[in-house]
Chain A
Amino acid sequence: MITRSIAALIEHNARTGEKSENILTDGVYTFRLRELPELLDEIDAVIPQAGAGADSCLSIECNNSAPSALLALALMRVGRSFILAPQSVTGNDLKPVPNFCSHRIVVRSRQDGAIPPANCLRIEENLFYNGKPATPEKLYLRTSGSMGVSKIVMHSHAGLLGNARNCVGKYGFTAESRLSIPVPLAHMYGFGAAFLAAVIAGASIDLQDKANVLRYLDHERRFRPDIVFATPSLCEMLLTAFRKPRTQYQAFVTSGQRIGEELFRAFDRTVGGRLINQYGSTEMGATAACDFGDTLDKRATEIGQPMNGVELRLSPRSGDAPGGDLYCRHPWGFEGYLDEDGEWIAKAAADGWYRTGDIARKTAGGSMIVTGRADASVNRSGYLVMLSDIERIVENLDGVGEVAVVAGKRETERGQSIAAFCVARSGVALDGIQVRRYCADLMPSYAIPDEVRIVTELPLLASGKLNRRALEVQVE
């Protein structure tokens, strides 16, 4: 494959006969790829007008709209550095802007496709900007799933394109492909594996904002996708909404742990297209995936073949713990973690090996099966939720003295169940419903414990450490 810069790709797509007629749509806006260079020029023009000089980093709060996609492409085209953050569901509360960004750009939702995309951008100066000049051609993402202080992950534009090229090769995207993207553009999965890969292929792209089954069906009718990137929970919801079998799909590419085999089975039956579980992370991007033609058993359990150039290895765990720590070396992996001031927290390891935090074992055929997380976490609605993050929030609530959060065996509609055991501060009457209500204000809905029990004390081991097992038994 010819390696092109994003600027060259956009020009190439705009001029190449059939590709140039392909579209980028979000249901409100529909653009031909040949219109893109001019639209990006218009976006380029409004940013300096708002006072954002050329050499600072920008903070982008994007939704899954065509204007958001165009803004990201415009910035990449000129090699400008930016952090990509998802908008809150209501679009009202703004995200924290890192101090190394000079401006915040919020992409506003429009219901009228006649408004130029450049007019959807609300550009504001960051009053806390520390004056740091940007390192050019970087893209920053916040680590997902964390509800406390998130780390900022640094990628290079070239690395992102390398990652996306791997996905083009892996999934066989071409200019004839029609990709629907209801997963957030602000995540590595939506932006790197789906959107940029589609741009490289010159494919038609359908973005879906605030995805739900009704919007999905609406876009499906109008756009006729053949490949869809969807969270496990959307895949499950679609199975209940699809009332007749489909024939048009090649594949649904999802990403998440503990996806039941039943979902894979139901997909093959109802959707016709194959369900593929892509293995990856914000740090490494797309790491491995099964092929569309792999058997159902393989697709339901194994992480599949590593992407081009990616190496995986297992490192023995301490004691007699089963499985090994899964390490990954990726030619297009991240460069390191930054703090809010743009200072290094840690650079990616010099030898390139990254500890994924997953525990895995090797099959007889040499493939990997992820069996769990090294740190306690659960997958909820497709998001990785660290139990320690929930504990950190709950222990700061009014009236809570101590707290321990454990995962239950029960499967809820959001994923594995979560239970919180709280000890009230002395003299405080605490009730579980109240604690859950507080949680609703402080964490995303998928992270709220399904059950909050008020206990007089937490069970301890002889060592004085918390006896988590004793709590887990209670919620099994």
Chain B
Amino acid sequence: MEGIVDRLRYLVAEKMDLSVRPEEIDPDAELMDGGLMLDSLALVKLIALSEREFQIEFGEDDLLMESFASLRALAGVIAVHRSLQPSGSRTAAA
């Protein structure tokens, strides 16, 4: 789980043009209202980046405000996805 959080911090810092370093990102900070203040476009980008990085596909049931409340919350959703996914399909997707 902490591994996923760290990779998400790296993704946000490196790929999202926010001018922050990974270690400066508080995984419990709010992503949208306050905290990291991601705008609507950045949010869509984060969804796509997470799917690519972790080779998962979110369902609409995952695309909830709660799932994207913080990077830690998002890491939880990603962890569940990865545990449910047969490992073969992950390799195939790669």
Contact = CB atoms under 8 A, between A and B. Distances in A.
Given A213-B63, A214-B63, A217-B63, A243 B58 contact: yes
Nearest to A213: B44
B41 A413 contact: yes
A465 interface: no
Given A218-B65, A240-B48, A212 B43 contact: yes
Interface in B38-80: 39-41, 43-45, 47-48, 57-60, 63-65, 67-68
A390 B40 CA distance: 23
Contact of A210 (B33, B45, B47, B59): B33
Given A240-B48, A241-B47, A244-B60, A214 B65 contact: yes
A89 B47 contact: no
A243 B56 CA distance: 13
Contacts of A215: 65
Nearest to B69: A214
B60 to A, nearest CB: 5
Interface residues of A, number: 22
B11 interface: no
A347 to B, nearest CB: 38
Nearest to B66: A214
A411 to B, nearest CB: 14
Interface residues of B, number: 20
Nearest to A91: B33
B32 interface: yes
A373 interface: no
A414 interface: yes
B43 A213 contact: yes
A234 interface: yes
A324 B65 CA distance: 47
A397 interface: no
A237 B60 CA distance: 14
A430 interface: no
A445 interface: yes
Interface in A234-279: 234, 237, 240-244
Interface of B: 32-33, 37, 39-41, 43-45, 47-48, 57-60, 63-65, 67-68
Interface of A: 89-90, 210-215, 217-218, 233-234, 237, 240-244, 381, 413-414, 445
Q: Sort A-B residue pairs by CB-CB distance and give the 9 closest, nearest first.
A: A212-B40, A237-B44, A243-B60, A214-B65, A212-B43, A217-B63, A214-B63, A240-B44, A241-B63
17 contacts: A90-B37, A212-B44, A213-B44, A214-B43, A214-B63, A214-B64, A214-B65, A214-B68, A217-B64, A241-B44, A242-B60, A243-B58, A243-B59, A413-B41, A413-B45, A414-B41, A445-B39
